[in-house]
Structure 1
Amino acid sequence: MKVDGNIGLDLNKVAESAQEVEAAGYTGAWTAETAHDPFLPLLLAAEHTTTLELGTSIAVAFARSPMTLANTAWDLQAYSKGRFNLGLGSQIKPHIEKRFSMEWSKPAARMREFVLAMRAIWNTWETGEKLDFRGEFYKHTLMTPFFTPDKNELEGFGPPKVFLAGVGPLMTEVAGEVCDGFLCHGFTTEKFLREVTIPALARGREKAGKTMEGFEIMGPSFVVTGTTDEEMEKAAAGTRQQIAFYGSTPAYKGVLELHGWGGLQEELNALSKQGEWVKMGTLIDDEILNTFAVVGEPEQIAPELSRRYGDVIQRISFYAPYASDPERWGAVMSALQSA
């Protein structure tokens, strides 16, 4: 199993952080699009590492056009010499319309077309074939030599792999059909992964005439651990808050419903509208915490992750490396990487 970490978004610290992650033995490092751009840190990370895979988990697709994202991904893939993975997500309607001032409609169908449009652009740049992509949401029909990157920039590795994040079965099926991998949302359980996610991915692969062979799934990443009681309590409190935040989102209600906790979503959503963020975390009891997260001392993490997901995921990412005891955490990583 591949084990990935993260390098943060502070451009002043990224180079050192990326080198530390690579030296610690992580397979890759991923950035998230939150308060800062997710791509700029990866450029610095690529400059200061040699083997570390780099990726976005996630970049918001609908905040951009297929053309702009095709350019950014191409350049990062070229500069990193084939180490870049483009991880995309849709975000939710209020953010796309009110934060990014972009269009929102039929997210699964739009995402499918977005990825296909981007691949059509890459194909034109690689082969010289005329660009003629015409879809319901995107149309790309103009490409002149002045705006075409040199195809030799990607010689030996080609365009980046495309990963897609999702929760609902429609978006998950799109990932299986048009992408190279799937990023499980942190708000995923073993039951949901096996009963909803995997079947949807398989349907998508079948649509594309492909099997699951070579398709990478990055597994859920809620881990509550630490080397002291204080660290454990802090990790548990933070994870309860994160689970509550995601649980308040209507789009993720299906995960709770599968476990018979559908009513919790309405409670969390109501509290979120009142700004009761701390109170929301108190609704996540131990049963819910242990269902979404692997909880235990460092030595217990690898066996439990392997038990839950070892036969269905190929890589796993953690929100942050546990650096207070590098030796113990290194043993966790080694155990997962050999799983």
Structure 2
Amino acid sequence: MTRGVLLPNVSESTTEVATRIEELGYDSIWTGELWGTDAFVQLTTIAAHTDEVALGTAIANVFSRSPAALAGAAASLDEVASGPVRLGVGPSTPKAIEDLHGLEYDRPVRRMHETVELVKAYTADEGRVEYDGECFSVRDFPALEADVPVYTAALGPAARRATGRVAGGWLPHNVPFDWLSEAFETVAEAARGAERDPGTIDVAPYVPSAVAEDPEEARGVVRGHLAYYVGSGEGYRRAVGERFPEEAERIADAWRAGERGRAREEVTDAMVGALGVAGTAEEARSQLAEIADLETVDEPIVVVPSNADDATVERTLEALAP
């Protein structure tokens, strides 16, 4: 089983935890960013202290950096990394783009589509780049040489169609695992329409994961993760709502009312099972193996929720390591 890890929030330094992840045998390390850290700086630091592990952003948003900036950062990381590099991008949320970056959240799917096309052109080492799109028009700059496939964090059908047309991989988050194949068919149809082979598109789902001697303690960690995303992101609520419509609505209502404890309580055991991995070490390993065995899945990404303490992070990474 090929598996990755989203760099967890722990008291250890970035290099210490990344080195530990590689020693445990994980195949890839991914970093996100919202506020306070930069994904490319973290990955460059990790690259200097690891040997073979693949590195990726999961995710960099397509608003706060131009396609050229994303391409340049990815190409620079590719130069210093010993292992493969993947660029994961996505549209993020109105809250992050408007309230943090002060930008208009305009046509996010189209912007993601054109960003992926442009990053691919800028890193293809094929002459000078010319591109006239609806969001971007660029001309007369040389392409860089970098082997960096672009993955997209796509939830809704429009974003999944864009993934099928242009992306090298799909990073689903909060898409119920038993619905992944159906959701991927939208990606596959768009790929075939663009004369691409859907089988060349990697699927690397986020897998919120927690391990504890008490299974209920582990489920509580994943409940907190799911309540946050369903409550604070409309796209996540809709994705979860495909499988759990009433539950997702109750979670979102409680979150919007400021009742965070009630929001967590509204996350059912069935939701935890469909959207995450939680339990004892043996139970969690079995659950992760079932996800990895899904025909659609190429590389599950273990995500230890940010509400987990250091001990839970360490137990989870050890239990789910290859």
Normalized against structure 2, the TM-score is what?
Answer: 0.87
SS in 2 for 1:184: coil
Q: Match of 1:207?
A: 193
Q: Match of 2:73?
A: 72
CA distance in 1 between partners of 2:24 and 2:211 (Å): 18
CA distance in 1 between partners of 2:316 and 2:273 (Å): 23
CA distance in 2 between partners of 1:256 and 1:30 (Å): 23
State the number of aligned residues: 312
Q: What letter matches 1:141 in structure 2?
A: R
CA contact (8 A) 1:173 1:204 kept: yes
Q: Match of 1:33?
A: 33
Distance apart, 1:21 and its partner CA = 1.1
Identify the match of residue 306 of structure 1 among 275, 289, 293.
289
Q: Which runs of 4+ in 1 moved over 4 A?
A: 8-12
- Per-residue displacement from partner, 1:79-118 (whole Å, max 9, x unpaired)? 1145211111111123212221223222222211111122
- Per-residue displacement from partner, 1:229-262 (whole Å, max 9, x unpaired)? 2xx4433222112112222232234334433x32
Q: Match of 1:278?
A: 261
CA contact (8 A) 1:8 1:14 kept: no
Residues 1:62 and 2:63 are matched in the alignment: yes
CA distance in 2 between partners of 1:122 and 1:4 (Å): 24
Distance apart, 1:142 and its partner CA = 4.0
Q: What letter matches 1:193 in structure 2?
A: L
CA distance in 1 between partners of 2:316 and 2:178 (Å): 32
Q: Structure 1: 5+ residue runs without aligned partners?
A: 335-339
Q: Structure 2: 5+ residue runs without aligned partners?
A: 305-311
CA contact (8 A) 2:222 2:278 kept: no
Distance apart, 1:309 and its partner CA = 4.5
CA contact (8 A) 2:52 2:83 kept: no
CA contact (8 A) 1:110 1:137 kept: yes
Distance apart, 1:295 and its partner CA = 3.2
CA contact (8 A) 2:153 2:171 kept: yes
Q: Match of 1:192?
A: 179
Q: Match of 1:323?
A: 314
CA contact (8 A) 1:2 1:314 kept: yes
**Structure 1 vs Structure 2: percent identity of aligned residues?**
23
Cα RMSD for the two superposed structures: 2.5
Distance apart, 1:46 and its partner CA = 0.4
Q: Which one is further off, 20-29 or 304-313?
A: 304-313
CA contact (8 A) 2:123 2:148 kept: no
- Per-residue displacement from partner, 1:22-58 (whole Å, max 9, x unpaired)? 1111101111113321111100110111101111111
CA distance in 2 between partners of 1:142 and 1:11 (Å): 46
CA distance in 2 between partners of 1:297 and 1:9 (Å): 21
CA distance in 2 between partners of 1:325 and 1:173 (Å): 34
Distance apart, 1:325 and its partner CA = 8.3
CA contact (8 A) 1:294 1:301 kept: yes
Q: Which one is further off, 79-88 or 316-325?
A: 316-325
CA contact (8 A) 2:230 2:240 kept: yes
Q: Which one is further off, 276-285 or 69-78?
A: 276-285
- Per-residue displacement from partner, 1:176-206 (whole Å, max 9, x unpaired)? 2211111110x121232122x2111101221
CA contact (8 A) 1:10 1:41 kept: no
CA distance in 2 between partners of 1:184 and 1:11 (Å): 28
**Distance change >3 Å, CA 208–CA 78, structure 1 → 2:** farther
Q: Match of 1:136?
A: 134
Structure having the higher Rg: 1
